[in-house]
Amino acid sequence: MDYVYGPGKNHLFVPGPVNIPEPVLRAMNRNNEDYRSPAIPAMTKTLLEDVKKIFKTTTGTPFLIPTTGTGAWESALTNTLSPGDRTVSFLIGQFSLLWIDQQQRLNFNVDVIESEWGQGANLDILAEKLAADHSHSIKAICIVHNETATGVTNNLATVRKLLDHYRHPALLLVDGVSSICALDFRMDEWGVDVALTGSQKALSLPTGLGIVCASPKALEASKSAKSVRVFFDWNDYLKFYKLGTFWPYTPSIQLLYGLRAALDLIFEEGLDNVIARHTRMGKATRLAVEAWGLKNCTQREEWYSDTVTAVLVPPYIDSAEIVKRAWKRYNMSLGLGLNKVAGKVFRIGHLGNLNELQLLGCLAGVEMILKDVGYPVKLGSGVAAACAYLQNNIPMIPSRI
């Protein structure tokens, strides 16, 4: 029984945690097992090999850590850096802000590059800092690939180009929590040193796995990094990898079976098709927003996110009221505006296990809510704009051709 029951399915459109597909739910519905039996290490081996594919890496070393995105951040930082190390970090929204706060609390010397919320990372300032850093005092660039609070996707290829242009050896640490497995992400090609995500986002699992992938350079850095780490120490994992038992402590058996099923579904659809599906969802949502006469919080097209759209509302509307109504009247969950954009935006999450018709249900719901709160929307306008695009662009379902 739901804690607060509503008829039909809840339309879950927050940008994580997202819908869990039925085969994954079924795969997780099982008893505990002895993780030291031959079965769990054998499955773990396949998981470690296969998660590398979603990071697009052949040289990276993955870690499946029983944690959330926040723990994955901590794992990336404490394994590669020492207290006092200078990091350059971009403040563009709530999640980049929280990561910066974590970096400060872990005693790194954080050099913050701030942008208005709705803008992407200011890479011109990064270029200036790299050019001026002759002594290589910057040890890491920390960047959130997709800022979930504002729906902004940063250009990681350009960050890599800048590092290469200035021949700067700083590590590139990337939060891919709301991007990996949904947006184009290329760990090896972009020279990302640590990439991380959380299971409740595009992988469409319950919360509880932080998936972190370290480049050979990051593993090398971990040998001399002096930050205190215990639970997150990669070295403990590596010891057990060598032994072939894989786990320094008890994994969640159910999540591992869930991850196996989730990866199988992603590979069955094809990772590139999964990414293309997200591209369509993002585009359809933006077309609807435009048809409603509303503005995207993301200020430039180059930063548009295909996993979450933050919609700006007119000043006479409180966006929190939209989110409240969605839940109370239409059994739909939308994302709130966070911190600086609280009351100003609501967010439509369109990531993970989701199809176009589900999205149209959400868009129809948003139209009714907009009318409820006094915004003069023409009912059907956003849905029509999204349909016109989707009808021309939805491919056959790969497994059914």
State the Cα–Cα distance between residues 184 and 341, nearest whole angstrom: 27
Which CB atom, from 44 or from 146, has the smaller least distance to ligand PLP? Answer: 146
Is 120 an interacting residue with respect to ligand PLP (CB under 6 A)?
A: no
Q: Which of 11, 13, 16, 281 binds ligand PLP (CB under 6 A)?
A: 16
Which CB atom, from 72 or from 289, has the smaller least distance to ligand PLP? Answer: 72
Q: Which of 21, 120, 198, 382 binds ligand PLP (CB under 6 A)?
A: 198
Contacts of residue 167, defined as CB under 8 A and 6 or more positions apart, other chains included, come to none
Is 178 an interacting residue with respect to ligand PLP (CB under 6 A)?
A: yes
Q: What is the DSSP string of 43-59?
A: HHHHHHHHHHHHHT-SS
Which CB atom, from 69 or from 118, has the smaller least distance to ligand PLP? Answer: 69
Which CB atom, from 335 or from 382, has the smaller least distance to ligand PLP? Answer: 335
Is 95 an interacting residue with respect to ligand PLP (CB under 6 A)?
A: yes
Is 175 an interacting residue with respect to ligand PLP (CB under 6 A)?
A: yes
Q: Which helix (H) or strand (E) holds 64?
A: strand 61-65
Nearest-approach distance from CB 139 to ligand PLP, in angstroms: 21
Is 144 an interacting residue with respect to ligand PLP (CB under 6 A)?
A: yes
Instruction: Give the binding range for ligand PLP (CB under 6 A) out of 5-13, 31-39, 174-182, 335-343.
Output: 174-182
Is 148 an interacting residue with respect to ligand PLP (CB under 6 A)?
A: yes
Nearest-approach distance from CB 196 to ligand PLP, in angstroms: 9
Q: Which of 60, 69, 120, 191 binds ligand PLP (CB under 6 A)?
A: 69
**Sign of the dihedral through C-alpha 317, 318, 319, 325:** negative
State the Cα–Cα distance between residues 183 and 278, nearest whole angstrom: 7
Nearest-approach distance from CB 95 to ligand PLP, in angstroms: 4
Is 153 an interacting residue with respect to ligand PLP (CB under 6 A)?
A: no
Instruction: Give the binding range for ligand PLP (CB under 6 A) out of 47-55, 122-130, 171-179, 241-249.
Output: 171-179
Which CB atom, from 198 or from 251, has the smaller least distance to ligand PLP? Answer: 198
Which CB atom, from 52 or from 145, has the smaller least distance to ligand PLP? Answer: 145
State the Cα–Cα distance between residues 97 and 114, nearest whole angstrom: 10
Which CB atom, from 150 or from 215, has the smaller least distance to ligand PLP? Answer: 150
State the Cα–Cα distance between residues 139 and 143, nearest whole angstrom: 13
Q: Where are the alpha helices (DSSP H) in 333-395?
A: 356-372, 381-393
Find out whether 347 is annotated in a ligand binding site. yes
Name the phi and psi angles at 142, rounded to 5.
-110, 125
Q: What is the DSSP letter of 211?
A: E
Nearest-approach distance from CB 142 to ligand PLP, in angstroms: 11
| DSSP bridge partners of 312 | 295, 345
Q: Is the backbone peptide bond immediately before 17 cis, with ω within 30 degrees of 0?
A: yes
State the Cα–Cα distance between residues 194 and 110, nearest whole angstrom: 18
Other beta carbons less than 10 A from residue 274's beta carbon: 21
Q: Which of 10, 68, 107, 273 binds ligand PLP (CB under 6 A)?
A: 68
Residue facing ligand PLP at closest CB distance: 69
| Per-residue b or e along 93-132, where b marks 16 or more CB atoms closer than 10 Å to that residue's CB | bbbbbbbbebbeebebebbebbbebbbbbbbeebbebbee
Binding-site members for substrate are: 347
Binding-site members are: 347
Binding interface with ligand PLP (CB under 6 A): 16, 68-70, 95, 144, 148, 175, 177-178, 198, 207
